Structures are given as C-alpha cells and as structure tokens.
Chain A
Amino acid sequence: MMGTRQHYKAELDALQARFGLRVASRLSQASEELPHDLTERLRVAREQAVARARGLRELSPVPVAVAAGPGSLALAPPPSWWLRLASALPLLLLVAGLLLIQQLHLREDIHAAAEVDAALLADDLPPEAYGDPGFVAFLKQPER
C-alpha cells in the first residue's frame, strides 16, 4: 500500500515536472517573439543598468591585479605606512620651500627698510625736513 502510494507520488512529480518544463518551453518561444520596440526598450534599460554599475565601480576603490612573477597574478598588497609617507614627502617639501621663500622675502624687506631708516637717521638733514612743504618744493626744482 505504502509502495503504491510512493510510486504514485513519484509518477505525479515526474509528470508535473515534464508538464511544467513543456509549458516553460512554450513561454520561452513566446518571449522570443516580443515586438521590436519592446526588445529595444529592454536593451536600453539593460545598458543603462550596466553603465550605472560601471560608474559606481569607477567611484569605489578596487583591488588592482599586478604581476607577482612569471605566469602568475596576485592582488597588490595595501600600501604600507612608509609608502604613504613617502608619497606625501614631495608635498611636504613643497610647503616647506614656500615657507622658507616667504621668510627670506620678509627678511629682505626688513633689511631694506632698516637701511633706509639708518641712512635717513645718519644724514645731516633731519627726517622732519621732508615734511616741510618748502623743502619739498626746493627738491623739485630742476636746477639749483
């Protein structure tokens, strides 16, 4: 009795599967006969999705395959702290150089101003004379 029932169930399952696959085959035939405009819209949708995935992949970091020896490929190890420091070194040198140049210019300006001040103070003419309108007019005379 049990054996008969199991046999019946197995036969039923097999028939169901065969029937299901035959219907699916007919549905596949029908899906291959979709109108051209529908297949084109599906193609455009697919291409948009693939382009979206490509854009997202380009934005996110991915492991880079590098040659690890003859005939083999391996994933590149993540950069060490020393390598990261070394890659930042040129930038640090540039900033330090700019600061040095700025300091040199500042020193030169101070030095030049000090020389002018010293010359003025060491001259016989007092610096207040340059504030006198009469003396300025005298200096502007072409011939003295």
Chain B
Amino acid sequence: MHRSASGHSKPLATEQELAEFLKSTEKRAFKRTAYAVRDEDAALDIVQDAMIRLAEKYADRPAAELPLIFGRILSNATMDWFRRQKVRQAVVRNFSELDAGGEDGDMDLLEALEAADPGSSAPEPDDSLSRGQTLALIENEVAALPARQREAFLLRYWEELDTAETAMVMGCTEGSVKTHCSRAVHALAKALAAKGLKP
C-alpha cells in the first residue's frame, strides 16, 4: 500500500488525489480519534479540523507524503483537543503507562498469540456472539489501550505505516514504536483471549 516520505521531486498532489486520499482515510481517522477521545462529535470536529489544516497548508505536497502529514496533523489536533479539555495530565499518565516487560512476559505473549491464531487448536470463540458484538468488543479493547500503545498499534497495523514512518508521526524513536506495538499486541491478545475471542 505504501509510500514513503521524500523530497519535492515527486509530482504534487492534484485536487482529485487529495480528495481520494481523504476519502480513503476519513473513516479510519474518525475511528482512531473516537477511540482516543471517546466522543463522536468531538472526533468529527477533530477530523474536520485536521482535514482543513491539511488542505490549507499541505495540499501542494506530493500525494505520497499526504498520509504521513495527515497522521501527524491528526495526532496534533487530538492532543490540542485534550489540552482544551484540560485533561492533559490524564493523557500524560496514559503515555507513561509502560508494562514491565521481560522474557516471561514474552512467553505469555507467545502463548496468547498462538492461542489467538486461527490455525491453532485453541477453542473456538463463543458462537453466541454476533459479528457486530464481536467487532464492538474488539473496538472496546482497542479503545481501552493506553494512548501511545493504541496510536502505535493503529498506525503500524491499520494505517500500514512502517516503523520509521510511525515514529515520525508519533514524534518518537523507532525503538519506542516497537515497544508500544509489542505491548499493545500483548494486551489485546490477553484481553481478547479472556473473552474467548479471536480477531
């Protein structure tokens, strides 16, 4: 799917490319923001604000750069919202939530991931849950992740950015991205396994 940031030698984004990019990303952007702020109206406002910022300041950049730029703008707009809500302390606390890692933890993770793998012999998920209920449970668990873990996880696996691109959007090192992703996967695998769910 991707795309890497580069200089301005690439052709500049046309109006159609800008529109197509926004259309392709708007629903994921909304969901990502809604997981963070837990308020649909606020998430819509933030996404709209990010779209306008992209259009006003970066619409003349190469089309290949738009995903990274938009990701960064959306993250900043979300942070601005938290600042306005005067709950920055809560976010910072979430940011610093780092699980104690170690080989034992990795072994647990491996077991949980193997159990969650469709090819494994682990028991099937509860058939009584509808597809909608399953999706809602998975979304709830994603929303419950600490902010930085969730952001790293969604950028890496949903937006399909590589580690370097994710680090650029998040403004951190690649090592931090790997740590956040690993912990997010660990937490999700455990939480979903506890509910008898396979993603």
Contacts and interface: CB of A to CB of B under 8 A. Distances in A.
Q: Classify the interface of chain B: helix, strand, loop or mixed.
A: helix
Given A19-B116, A23-B188, A49-B51, 8 more contacts: A12-B106, A16-B185, A26-B199, A38-B30, A45-B47, A50-B18, A52-B55, A53-B55
Interface string B17-36: 01100110011101100000
The list of the 4 closest CB pairs from A to B, nearest first, reads: A20-B157, A53-B59, A49-B51, A45-B48
23 contacts: A8-B106, A11-B110, A12-B109, A15-B110, A15-B114, A20-B153, A20-B185, A22-B198, A23-B153, A26-B134, A26-B135, A28-B158, A30-B31, A30-B135, A32-B27, A42-B47, A43-B26, A45-B48, A48-B48, A49-B22, A49-B48, A49-B55, A50-B18
Contacts of B55: 49-50, 52-53, 56
Scoring A31, A38, A43 by chain B CB atoms within 10 A of each residue's CB, the highest score goes to A31
Nearest to A50: B19
A104 interface: no
Interface of A: 8, 11-12, 15-34, 38-39, 41-43, 45-50, 52-54, 56-57
A42 to B, nearest CB: 5
A16 B30 CA distance: 25
B188 A12 contact: no
A57 B109 contact: no
A11 B113 CA distance: 11
